[in-house]
Chains A and B, each alone.
Chain A
């Protein structure tokens, strides 16, 4: 249908309708202008796009996912357990001490000649005839769990404290931040050591028989220390974010409409500072893993026989010249985990931090 002004119905003089003659058809050029050139994108999608373009971040994400899948799935059907000493035909095999990777012990070789099938020791065995591969896997499990759990504690406490302090401001903020200042200036590593020493003695007997006893008092004191000391960095970060976000008009609008502080913090403020917080959590995990390996080194690590990467690497130091692989495997995995989290954290920051966006 072509446009013809004369064919259009005439406007009644008294009608309030708009005169259709005053309009004309849009030209093709004008129509083209309305076509969407690019899909509209959200903050999250834009960040993910940037993250995908960062090869280091993608690689570290893949490494982490592979690692997590391995340490979750492999122990399910692996024939040895982390505390089990190798036995052949139901008898303890004392020759399976300190085997090199993929090496069989004398007794096992005999059993294989007799037709038995024995699963190879991929990483060899340790000085107590335990399969080293499964110990390293369990160590990675423990180390990662310690890192994640400690970061979670930091996240929850820091988030609560920081948002209350930042949102209410004034005297509340001042008192809360002075407390943070003091805790912040305590030397954290020393306090971890001190509390581990003390809690070891105090909790030692009371925990027996509970689930916590398996984790060991050292790990509990590590978590306690993270809960007591390490959250202050997160609290400061959250408070700073909230202070800048709460001056925005939409917060004022929400408050004018009578929203309660809890709702404003949850619905309007926190979603806007989530990216910064998650980046900081991603960078907190390697620091927790490092703290755990440091504690293992000075003899305050996880409870034996449970392994952690730090305690495995530390135990291997003694026989370093004869059995270097025992040091290499856990050390490489610690490096992989810490490196991946560091690179992923850096990548997340480049992709999501509003200050770095261009």
Chain B
């Protein structure tokens, strides 16, 4: 276990380094510097500016300085707003984390419940309805789904309020963000549940007279949970990218909206910082879900 943990942590560190390198050098490959304007400033002023932001040094050295700043949590300054990026991220991520956290929680909870129901009612109508709906939900692009939900439930039926800063109503955003991972978890739970229910120890438990509810919760669900754990890492990644779409549709001022805006504004330091920030989050999420998986199921051996 220790060896595996060390190996995974090292791999994660290498990945983060590679992400930082790709981002940095990719952004550097874009022609033109931040101070190249149509009206050329005084060469002396430009030299001072370049020296101030270390742009006069060779690229490799710039990269090392950039890495050092990253380790201090210093992402530089946004070109559009002139604010510290680390501050923007801290502020905006709080909103995104709230939205994403709720979506992840409900996705896991509902996915497990629906998946178990589908497995227990195999080939009867609840199973068919659940599988039909989940297949449909994974086939609709999230922005279409979000727009339809917004139009039907908020603007036409007026069941829920539209999200605004004064009245933050998270119901629709959370639903639209959660449907895809929920559907995935449902299908995953169903197949692993069916797998477990066919095992000998379930028959043994039933044969010795254990109550059905106990069989399902104590014996079946606990073992069926294991494959779901592996999906948690990718799910976090999916929710982080998905929230770019959902936040833009519902005009929620989170990190996702900020990222999309920085792409459209060509605010390179902001794109760079957000990419690295989100990527590190995803790598950490995957690392944790892999380690937990290994911890929960000692039969699994990775090499």
A residues neighboring B (CB under 8 Å): 181-182, 185-187, 189-191, 193-195, 197-198, 201-202, 286, 290, 293-294, 297-300, 310, 313-314, 317, 320-321, 324, 327, 331, 334-335, 338-339, 342-343
Contacts and interface: CB of A to CB of B under 8 A. Distances in A.
B140 A201 contact: no
Residue among A193, A299, A313, A339 with max Cβ neighbours from chain B (10 Å): A193
Interface string B58-72: 000000000000000
A331 B135 contact: no
Residue among B11, B147, B249 with max Cβ neighbours from chain A (10 Å): B147
A293 B151 CA distance: 20
A313 B151 contact: no
B135 A339 contact: yes
Given A290-B141, A327-B147, A339-B135, A181 B278 contact: no
B279 A186 contact: yes
- Chain B interface, DSSP helix/strand/loop, else mixed: helix
Contact of B151 (A186, A194, A321): A321
B18 A182 contact: yes
9 contacts: A185-B15, A186-B19, A193-B263, A194-B26, A294-B142, A297-B141, A310-B141, A313-B143, A342-B135
Given A186-B18, A202-B29, A327-B147, A299 B264 contact: yes
B186 interface: no
A150 B273 CA distance: 28
Given A185-B286, A187-B278, 15 more contacts: A182-B18, A187-B241, A193-B271, A194-B22, A194-B23, A198-B26, A201-B31, A290-B141, A294-B241, A297-B141, A298-B263, A299-B263, A299-B264, A320-B147, A338-B140
B127 to A, nearest CB: 14
B14 interface: yes
Nearest to B249: A317
A166 to B, nearest CB: 15
A190 B275 contact: yes
B201 to A, nearest CB: 22
B139 A286 contact: yes
- Chain A interface, DSSP helix/strand/loop, else mixed: helix
A320 B148 CA distance: 9
Contact of B279 (A181, A190, A299): A190
CB-based closest 8 A-B pairs = A339-B139, A338-B139, A189-B241, A201-B30, A331-B144, A198-B26, A187-B282, A185-B15
Interface in B121-150: 135-136, 138-144, 147-148
Contact of A202 (B23, B30, B142): B30
Contact of B11 (A185, A189, A190): A185
A20 B141 CA distance: 78
A141 B148 CA distance: 24
B210 interface: no
Contacts of B241: 187, 189-190, 294
A286 B30 CA distance: 31
A229 to B, nearest CB: 11
A266 B24 CA distance: 41
Contacts of B88: none
Interface string B257-273: 00010011010000100
B32 to A, nearest CB: 8
